[in-house]
Every structure is written in structure tokens, then in C-alpha cells.
Amino acid sequence: MNQRFNMAELRRITLVRHDSVRAQSSRERRCSREFFSVRGTLVMLGLGALSALALPAVAQTPQQIQAALDSALGKFKDVKQGANADYIPALAKVDPNIFGIALVTPDGKVYTAGDVKSQVSIQSISKVFTMARVIEEQGPEAIVQRIGVDATGMRFNSIVSVEFAQKALGGPEINPLVNPGAITATSMVSGANRDEVWKHILDFHSDFAGRPLTVDKEVFDSEAATNQRNQAIGALMYAYGFIKDNPARATDIYTEQCAISVNARDLAVMAGTLANSGKNPVTGKQVLKANYVPGVLAVMATAGLYDDSGKWLFRTGLPAKSGVGGGIIAVSPGKFGIAVISPPLDAAGNSVKAQLAIEAVSNALGGNPYAPVVKR
């Protein structure tokens, strides 16, 4: 029944005002004003939740899973809202028509629809895996104590959020999925020198994806030349003692990790590994200790879609993470990992079509972990 998902109903305009520190290009500002947000009103959210309630939480056949992907692709392929990120110049040049959906189940089956070959930069989705690397090395408390696991409610590159946490809250009250926390997490990865730290990060991402990943040099260079704001954030985190040394190096490595190239299939395998208790369902490798997965998913649920994380969780119940390259991953624990790539973003920096497609597929498959179990 939610197959008859009515996009028009969900396209009630919600103009989202962000904190004034957002580094926006004029194009972004234009886009923010004109953009018809895909997030609906509370009324529609309520209806969405009701339709989710009526969904049976039963195992799906491969045909049903494939049909859900195909249906979402067909339903949303012509959506035109949103615009590529352009504050990183190389991202503005990415083909906005890339649209691919991939889903991986714990038995290692990979389902795809659309363009799952084209690669984009992973961007902020990398924050999940670098955080996971720190947790794997040092345990979850290291993240809780140094960075925090609370939503900031602000833009991903907000400096006000750092000041607020420091001055009003008095400590580590942000999270590793916004830039200040992410740059700090990168600074916490083990390694005697830059090369070693980088190898640990890249290898960890590759283990999640199940293949050796590489960096898009053009994106890395483009962001490294224009990331003065992130450099400032790194310096601020150092000044407040969150980063212990060499903030410039941490920001540089963070920038490189954001330029890792992935396609929708890669991202789905990464999400599928989280859905499968940290064991890559395709390669069989235990990448992250199973008992560390819930903490990673909790931070994704709290802050994965930045200041729109609450709305997303309300609609889907899925821990997820977006990146300004246009990818979003989402995890239905024990059921599936899903990823969609579509570069045009909404005002909060989240892919418009990826949100629509993941929500539709997940609802069709009973992916919401909070949905009541239907007894038959």
C-alpha cells in the first residue's frame, strides 16, 4: 500500500533555516530558497508512520526485493529537485543524473537497480568508517569521552556547535559525524606517520567495501585547495584540546578520506557489513567487532543526516549516513544494508533522490527496526 507513495503529498515546502555560519555559495543559497523540501509536514509523517505500521515484518523473497528496488528507481528517476554541492568545485562537475540503488542482505546477495557503476566521492559517509576504526582500536568509550555522541542540531561544518559545546556544555558534546568530530576522529587513528594513518583508514574502508578502494585525486586536490573552513575547524579542535597534535595533518587526511571513490554497490556492501554485525556479507571478513556495531549505528541514527537526522529517523527508523557527493547508506540491522547515489542535494546537504528511494525500498521491505512485529 505504501507502494502508492505519493511524492506530491510529501513535497510540502518546509523552508529550512540553518545556522548563519554555513559556508554557502550563492548557488547553494538560491537552491535553499527555491528548493521544495522532500520532507513533509508532520501530518504526512504521521501517515507515513501509519503505513509503516501496517507493513508485515516478514522475510522478503529475492523477487520482492528486486521489485522494490526497480519500483523506487522508476518512481524517482525523474525527480529534479536539489543541486550538486559546489562549495567543493570538483563536485559541481559530477553528472547529476547518476542514480543507482544497491541493497545487500546478510547472506551476501547483492541487488541493484540503475547506475551502480559510476563512482562518486564518499565524502561524509567516510566519517562512519573512520569512527568505526577508532572504536575498533580504542573501544567505544574513546569516542564518547573525546568527541561525544550527541546531535548538534547544526550544519555539518558548524563552528558555533563547537563553541556551544565548549562554552555552554563544557566538553565533548558533539559527535564524529559532523566535521569537527570527524576531523578529531581522524586524528585518533593509530599510525606512526601520515602514511600509516592513511593506510589504516583506506584499508578499513576497503575491508568494508570488499575491494581495494582508491582516491579521486581531482576531488581531493579540489577540496584541499578550498577547505580553509575545515582547516579552521581542525585548529579550533586543537585549541580546545580535542585534537592532541598536528591538526593540519588530521584535516588533510580527513580531506583525503572524503575523496575515496565509491559506487552504489560499494556503499551497499559497506552498509551491509554494518547490517551483518560487522562481518562483510560478501567477503566473509569480520571487519568490526560485532559488539561495537550498535554504538556505530546509534551515532548514525543520532547524526547521520546532520540537522535533518531526526526527521529521517522519524520517517524510516534507519541508522544512515549521507555525503555531499550524493551517496546515502542506511542499515536495517540483520535485514539489509542499502545505498543510493544521486548527486543533487537538498538544503541540509542530503541527496534528494537517495532519501526518497531508501525510504520507499525500506518501507516496502519492512526495514524499520521500530515497526511492531506483526503476529500471523
* Cα 346 from Cα 32, distance rounded (Å): 7
Which residue number, 50 or 248, has a Cβ lying nearer to ligand GLN?
248
CB of 87 to ligand GLN, least distance (A): 7
Backbone angles phi, psi at 89, to 5 degrees: -50, -40
184 binds ligand GLN (CB under 6 A): no
The CA–CA distances, whole Å, from 251 to 39, 191, 223, 254, 255 equal 32, 15, 11, 5, 6
Which residue number, 207 or 252, has a Cβ lying nearer to ligand GLN?
252
Residues 252-291 that bind ligand GLN (CB under 6 A): 258
Pick the closest to residue 248 from 256, 267, 26 (CA basis): 256
CB of 324 to ligand GLN, least distance (A): 4
* Cα 12 from Cα 45, distance rounded (Å): 11
156 binds ligand GLN (CB under 6 A): yes
Pick the closest to residue 184 from 161, 215, 167, 206 (CA basis): 161
Which residue number, 272 or 323, has a Cβ lying nearer to ligand GLN?
323
222 binds ligand GLN (CB under 6 A): no
Which residue number, 273 or 350, has a Cβ lying nearer to ligand GLN?
350
Residue pair 29/87 in contact (Cβ under 8 Å)? The answer is no
The CA–CA distances, whole Å, from 196 to 58, 76, 220, 253 equal 45, 42, 18, 11
* Cα 54 from Cα 311, distance rounded (Å): 20
Alpha helices in 77-227 (DSSP H): 89-92, 126-138, 140-146, 160-164, 179-188, 194-209, 217-226
* Cα 313 from Cα 30, distance rounded (Å): 27
Residue nearest to ligand GLN according to CB distances in the complex: 124
Applying CB under 6 A, among 81, 157, 161, 222 the residue interacting with ligand GLN is 157
Applying CB under 6 A, among 180, 181, 272, 349 the residue interacting with ligand GLN is 349
312 binds ligand GLN (CB under 6 A): no
Which residue number, 14 or 226, has a Cβ lying nearer to ligand GLN?
226
CB of 41 to ligand GLN, least distance (A): 26
Which residue number, 81 or 123, has a Cβ lying nearer to ligand GLN?
123
230 binds ligand GLN (CB under 6 A): yes
The CA–CA distances, whole Å, from 55 to 8, 42, 49, 231, 324 equal 22, 20, 10, 47, 32
* Cα 240 from Cα 218, distance rounded (Å): 32
Which residue number, 226 or 286, has a Cβ lying nearer to ligand GLN?
226
Applying CB under 6 A, among 136, 173, 207, 223 the residue interacting with ligand GLN is 223
* Cα 29 from Cα 7, distance rounded (Å): 24
124 binds ligand GLN (CB under 6 A): yes
Residue found by looking up cell 559541481 in the block:
92
CB of 50 to ligand GLN, least distance (A): 32
Applying CB under 6 A, among 319, 323, 337, 366 the residue interacting with ligand GLN is 323
Which residue number, 323 or 337, has a Cβ lying nearer to ligand GLN?
323
324 binds ligand GLN (CB under 6 A): yes
Per-residue b/e over 16-29, b at no fewer than 16 CB within 10 Å? eebeeebebeeebe
Residue pair 155/306 in contact (Cβ under 8 Å)? The answer is yes
CB of 169 to ligand GLN, least distance (A): 23
Which residue number, 173 or 223, has a Cβ lying nearer to ligand GLN?
223
129 binds ligand GLN (CB under 6 A): no
CB of 163 to ligand GLN, least distance (A): 18
CB of 94 to ligand GLN, least distance (A): 13
Q: What 3-state class would DSSP assign to 352?
A: helix
Q: What is the binding site for ligand GLN (CB under 6 A)? A: 123-124, 156-157, 179, 223, 230, 258, 323-324, 349
